[in-house]
């Protein structure tokens, strides 16, 4: 098994690399790739920040950009491709059209590479955003829910782009026999989660560590769920190797928690006694925002389960953040 990993320097990628590093250190007998090649626009900058990934015999970094097919390792053979490259963390810096182009053209380029290099398996990291707004009658979104983001709203470029990318995967499975599977990610937490962007749980952990109070920007009523990055990595590699071709799987937790409850939980674990301030006023009878996946398919087909509880995930994320003093600049 020789794996090409895109997005290897992002949250998903670091989760996968840490998981693999742990498996190699344990000399696991599982399905480990003999070599992993990570495509990155700035390998040197990444390794400067994360030197633990240097000088590993099974890991190699290559400079390249998924949007530039000439920069891809076109003359190498790979058995597996895991495409996790998309600027979801720094999305505010991109125009809607730029986000769409990055997702769609990047996926097309990687699919072409997979076919040309003789890869057997291809995993696309998609998103629960492909479902659009979760309707009130659904407590959990199943993979066969046919909801869709409004394609006439340019702000939905990410969800629509991911839908098109999924369609490309299905088309390449049909035309070339490439075994593609789809991982529809929801919300996550773990030591590599950025604490200074738009992820509520990361912001709460940052506030608990370094600010006078924990701030909830909205009214605290939306329901979310969080999967730890250890489970995320395990699930993605399982889907890469064993996901049914042409099938999509939700990747996340099905244990709902309100944003207000989450803020208080982070407070209780990380900074007991600190104030939680909810800035938004509670709305009347408006629909509550819900974003929770059904994970029954992943469990039934592949035996995947949530093995790390939210409390432990929060605790480990806070410990990792506290051990990196440079993060104090966000205080």
Say which residue the tokens 């937490």 belong to.
189
- Topology of domain 189-224+255-292+305-330, CATH: UDP-galactose 4-epimerase; domain 1 (3.90.25)
pLDDT reading at 88 higher than 80: no
pLDDT of res. 197: 87
d(Cα 282, Cα 19) in Å, to the nearest integer? 41
Which tokens sit at 242? 């064993």
DSSP state of 66: T
Report d(CA 75, CA 113) in Å as an integer: 9
Cα separation values, 97 from 57, 94, 155, 157, 161, Å: 39, 8, 9, 7, 10
Specify the higher pLDDT residue, 94 or 119.
Answer: 119
Structure tokens, 111: 């699919």
**Gyration radius (Cα) of the chain, Å:** 20
Whether the pTM exceeds 0.85: the reply is yes
What does each C-alpha distance from 315 to 13, 250, 278, 279 come to in angstroms?
Answer: 21, 25, 22, 25
Listed by start position, the domains of the chain span 2-188+227-251, 189-224+255-292+305-330
CATH of segment(s) 2-188+227-251: 3.40.50.720
Q: What is the dihedral of CA 150, 143, 183, 129, to 10 degrees?
A: 20
The overall average pLDDT reported for the chain is: 93
**At 294, phi and psi to the nearest 5?**
-85, 130
Q: What is 215-236 written as a DSSP string?
A: EESS-S--EE--EEHHHHHHHH
- Compute the distance between CA of residue 23 and CA of residue 5 in angstroms, rounded to an integer: 17
Alpha carbons 147 and 130: distance in angstroms, whole number:
8
Query: What is the mean pLDDT of the segment spanning 200-212?
Result: 96
What is the tens place of the pLDDT at every residue in 169-181?
999 999 999 999 9
């Amino acid at each position: 098994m020789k794996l090409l990993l895109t997005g290897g320097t992002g949250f998903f990628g670091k989760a996968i690399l840490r998981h693999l590093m742990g498996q190699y250190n344990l000399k696991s007998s599982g399905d480990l790739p003999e070599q992993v090649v990570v495509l990155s626009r700035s390998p040197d900058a990444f390794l400067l920040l994360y030197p633990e990934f240097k000088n590993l015999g099974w890991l190699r970094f290559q400079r390249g950009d998924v949007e530039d097919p000439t920069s891809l390792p076109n003359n190498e053979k790979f058995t597996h491709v895991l495409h996790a490259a998309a600027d979801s963390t720094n999305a505010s810096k991109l125009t809607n059209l730029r986000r769409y182009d990055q997702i769609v053209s990047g996926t097309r380029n990687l699919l072409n590479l997979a076919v040309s290099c003789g890869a057997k398996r291809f995993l696309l990291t998609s998103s629960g955003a492909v479902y659009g707004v979760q309707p009130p009658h659904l407590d959990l979104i199943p993979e066969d829910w046919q909801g869709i983001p409004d394609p006439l709203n340019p702000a939905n470029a990410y969800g629509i782009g991911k839908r098109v990318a999924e369609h490309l995967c299905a088309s390449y499975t049909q035309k070339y026999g490439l075994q593609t599977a789809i991982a529809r990610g929801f919300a996550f937490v773990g030591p590599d989660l950025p604490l200074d962007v738009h992820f509520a749980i990361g912001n709460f952990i940052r506030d608990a560590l370094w600010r006078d109070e924990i701030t909830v920007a909205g009214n605290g009523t939306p329901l979310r769920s969080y999967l730890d990055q250890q489970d995320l990595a395990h699930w993605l590699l399982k889907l890469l190797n064993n996901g049914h071709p042409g099938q999509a799987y939700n990747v996340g937790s099905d244990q709902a928690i309100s944003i207000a409850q989450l803020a208080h939980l982070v407070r209780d674990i990380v900074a007991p006694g600190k104030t939680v301030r909810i800035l938004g006023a509670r709305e009347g009878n408006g629909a509550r925002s819900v974003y929770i996946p059904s994970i029954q398919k992943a469990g039934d087909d592949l035996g995947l389960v949530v093995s790390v509880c939210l409390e432990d995930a929060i605790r480990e994320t806070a410990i990792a953040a506290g051990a990196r003093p440079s993060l104090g600049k966000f205080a």
